[in-house]
Structure 1
Amino acid sequence: MSSDHKLYAYLHDEILPLDSAYLHVSDLAIQRGYGIFDFFKTHQGQPLFLNDYLTRFYASALLMGLEVPLSEEELTSVLTRLIQMNGLTDSGVKMILTGGYSENGYNPGPPNLIILEQPLTLPSEAQLATGIKVITHEYVRELAAAKTINYSMGIRLIQQVKAKAADDVLYHQQGVVSEFPRSNFFLVTKDNILRTPAQEILKGVTRKNVLELAAKKYKVEEGTVTLEDIARAKEAFMTSTTKRVLPIVAVDGQPIGDGKPGAVSLDLLQDLIQLEEAQLEKL
């Protein structure tokens, strides 16, 4: 995208230039970090799996006691207009719902809805060929089923991740694995069973799609996954909107399987790409 490409955002019932979109400092997103969001991607200017993301957005708002000021039909219309105005081929669209302007910095006000769109970069061929390394950290997100804007722990651990020459951090509690700050976790056992955590996680849309794709070829299990399970696994990977299926080759410095991206992981990545292409054909 050229540096002079003008982007637009949605705020306060209008679409306006991105550099003119501001919140007042009294918003609870600023004062207390209170709010929710969701994020989907577009390809060829079309949103992928939008209904799933909208369903989760409204569910997160309900869990946090926030009311989305637009109906799903109205929000879809705004998203369509914004995507058309920005004219990006491949992008990520973020919908943010804040706690609103607060008179005392604690009590919520009418929520503010913000929609942003930016160019999107997917994992490179080099990343897919080599896989990524992760570390672990004992932590469970509060209200994990809601996609809140609170990423304090993940952000605080960035320097620790870098110091250990890793790419991300996997949360666990007393050895029971949950999720990454922005992705879901899968492993593949030596007999090609796919296993993924079921508790204390945000159920990702890509996770859902991969589970459905995998069930056509492999045995799939949602349940308890431990650090010991990871140590015995043949493969591991993460899933997310922006990462798709990204192989993990080491956890806490210990290789997974042969320390290379596995065949099952890469096979599911191709299945997911084909599903995305099929989704586009329907739009």
Structure 2
Amino acid sequence: MSWIYINDHFLEEDKAAVNVNDLAVQRGYGVFDFFRTRDNKPLFLDDYLDRFFNSAKTLFISLPVNREQLKNVIYALIGKNNIPESGIRITATGGYSPDGYTPAQGNLIIQQQPLIPVSEEKKEHGIKIITHEYMRDLPAVKSINYVMGVWLQKQVKEKQADDVLYVKNNLITEFPRSNIFMVNSGGKLLTPANNVLAGITRKKVLALAPEILPVATVDISLHELKNAAEVFMTSTTKRILPVVEMDGIKIGDGRPGAITKALYKLFTQMEERTIK
């Protein structure tokens, strides 16, 4: 059993609930963020809180706590649950709207669960992806709207892939839950500049990568991606995960590349420094 925080209360998981009139239920309207803990220490917490408060502001959701109060609640929840390696999700719902359509003060929900790590096989051998023509609504916002990503799971499984990459007007954007990077034939690291969520792992990779190769945020065509030397995704749970095949086309030599492996090492070293 784990503890959950809703507004002013810590509740046992099976007793936690919000009213069905919440806009999150009625209209699928709300924002969230998600971060990891290691040894009961939250990783890059300030970065995640920056994005969370920005998402709520953009969707006109007012929060019942300020930033410092939210931090205190997070640390209190970590102490109550004592799940050293975990994922923590903070959700701000659209609230109990008086007309069922206008955002109100959001309900704040914080959940903590043990983290399921990415398999060693995927780390060692990489993953396969497919592409789909789509762009998320308000891409800079981490909203609770995952309709397309969930709907596409059937197609992902039918094609024996691991994830789906969104493409709009022949330009790549992002995965439903991850960002994408590529190394081109000239040895430059590229990631899409527009219409993507500003991932926290993406941010850290952009800061670390100049140690080993030049970096740019630019528009990337589907053709460029198919001809990349290396491709990898980044996310909170996956960290840096190699992509070795897209739409049945092998990326590079079909194996995780040296740059991907080097960046993964740099990123895990950064994590270690953060928790010390």
When the two structures are superposed, what TM-score results if normalisation uses the length of structure 2? 0.98
How far apart are 1:67 and its partner, in Å? 1.4
Q: Of 47, 64, 75, which aligns to 1:69?
A: 64
Which deviates more, 115-124 or 205-214? Answer: 115-124
Q: Of 227, 231, 237, which aligns to 1:236?
A: 231
Report SS of the residue matched to 1:215: helix
Asked whether 1:43 is paired with 2:73, we answer no
Which residue in 2 is equivalent to 1:3? none
Quick one: which amino acid aligns to residue 33 of structure 1? Answer: G
How far apart are 1:68 and its partner, in Å? 1.8
Which residue in 2 is equivalent to 1:275? 270
Quick one: which amino acid aligns to residue 168 of structure 1? Answer: D
Asked whether 1:107 is paired with 2:102, we answer yes
Which residue in 1 is equivalent to 2:90? 95
Which residue in 2 is equivalent to 1:135? 130
Question: Is the Cα contact below 8 Å between 1:26 and 1:103 reproduced in 2?
Answer: no
Matches within 5 A, 1:107-126: 107-126=102-121
Distance in 1 (CA, whole Å) between partners of 2:121 and 2:168 is 32
How far apart are 1:223 and its partner, in Å? 0.9
Matches within 5 A, 1:55-66: 55-66=50-61
Report SS of the residue matched to 1:68: coil
Quick one: which amino acid aligns to residue 52 of structure 2? Answer: F
Report SS of the residue matched to 2:211: coil
Quick one: which amino acid aligns to residue 239 of structure 2? Answer: R
Cα deviation 1:230-260 (Å, max 9, x = unaligned): 1210100000000000000001010000011
Quick one: which amino acid aligns to residue 195 of structure 1? Answer: L
How far apart are 1:95 and its partner, in Å? 0.2
Report SS of the residue matched to 1:228: helix
Which deviates more, 115-124 or 46-55? Answer: 115-124
Quick one: which amino acid aligns to residue 270 of structure 1? Answer: K
How far apart are 1:200 and its partner, in Å? 0.4
Identical counterparts, % of pairs: 48
Matches within 5 A, 1:1-283: 6-281=1-276
Report SS of the residue matched to 1:26: coil
Cα deviation 1:55-107 (Å, max 9, x = unaligned): 00000011101112111110000000001100101000000000111333222
Distance in 1 (CA, whole Å) between partners of 2:269 and 2:241 is 16
Cα deviation 1:27-62 (Å, max 9, x = unaligned): 000000000000000001100000000000000011
Question: Is the Cα contact below 8 Å between 2:61 and 2:104 reproduced in 1?
Answer: no
Distance in 1 (CA, whole Å) between partners of 2:42 and 2:262 is 24
How far apart are 1:276 and its partner, in Å? 0.2
When the two structures are superposed, what TM-score results if normalisation uses the length of structure 1? 0.96
